[in-house]
């Protein structure tokens, strides 16, 4: 089965530093997402992206966050100035179509630790 690929699997950074989390969605998918999971808590939606623009974002996704699809394959999440509370597992996801029942494929996540 096709996979969503995320790199790195673990990222450690100092508070205030910028980080970029990378994702390669499934090649024929058009809708891209970032979710995050703080340790031991539920998975939360951050942002959805389609046609090179953000289609929806949550309250968590403030000005410190940005997303980009710099080329035809990568989808990135940038955190400009990391805070301790940004420590979480970040999941990238993609799907072929927007309909609510369309299967969402998740990557294996990037564990971000902010020190």
Partner 1 sequence: AQKVTQAQTEISVVEKEDVTLDCVYETRDTTYYLFWYKQPPSGELVFLIRRNSFDEQNEISGRYSWNFQKSTSSFNFTITASQVVDSAVYFCALSDTYNTDKLIFGTGTRLQVFP
The C-alpha atoms of residue 77 and residue 51 are separated, in whole angstroms, by: 16
Cβ 36 to partner 1, closest distance in Å? Answer: 11
25 scored as a contact of partner 1 (CB under 8 A): no
70 scored as a contact of partner 1 (CB under 8 A): no
**Residue with smaller CB distance to partner 1, 66 or 108:** 108
Strands (E) located in 1-115:
5-7, 10-13, 19-24, 31-37, 43-50, 53-57, 65-68, 75-79, 88-95, 105-106, 110-114
55 scored as a contact of partner 1 (CB under 8 A): yes
Question: How many CA atoms, within 13 angstroms, populate the side-chain half-sphere of residue 7?
Answer: 2
Part in contact with partner 1 (CB under 8 A); list of ranges 22-30, 59-67, 72-80, 107-115: 107-115
**Residue with smaller CB distance to partner 1, 76 or 111:** 111
Residue 111 DSSP SS3: strand
The C-alpha atoms of residue 105 and residue 37 are separated, in whole angstroms, by: 16
Site residues (CB under 8 A) for partner 1, limited to 33-52: 33, 35, 41-45, 48
The footprint of partner 1 (CB under 8 A) covers 31, 33, 35, 41-45, 48, 55-56, 58, 89, 91, 98-101, 103-109, 111
């Amino acid at each position: 089965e096709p996979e969503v690929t995320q790199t790195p699997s673990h990222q450690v950074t100092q508070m205030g530093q910028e980080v970029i989390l990378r994702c390669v969605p499934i090649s024929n998918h058009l809708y891209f997402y970032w979710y995050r999971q703080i340790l031991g808590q539920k998975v939360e939606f951050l942002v959805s992206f389609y046609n090179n623009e953000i289609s929806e974002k949550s309250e968590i996704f403030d000005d410190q966050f940005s997303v980009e699809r710099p080329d035809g394959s990568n989808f990135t999440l940038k955190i400009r100035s990391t805070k301790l509370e940004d420590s979480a597992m970040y999941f990238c996801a993609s799907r072929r179509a927007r309909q609510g029942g369309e299967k969402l494929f998740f990557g294996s996540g990037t564990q971000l630790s902010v020190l």
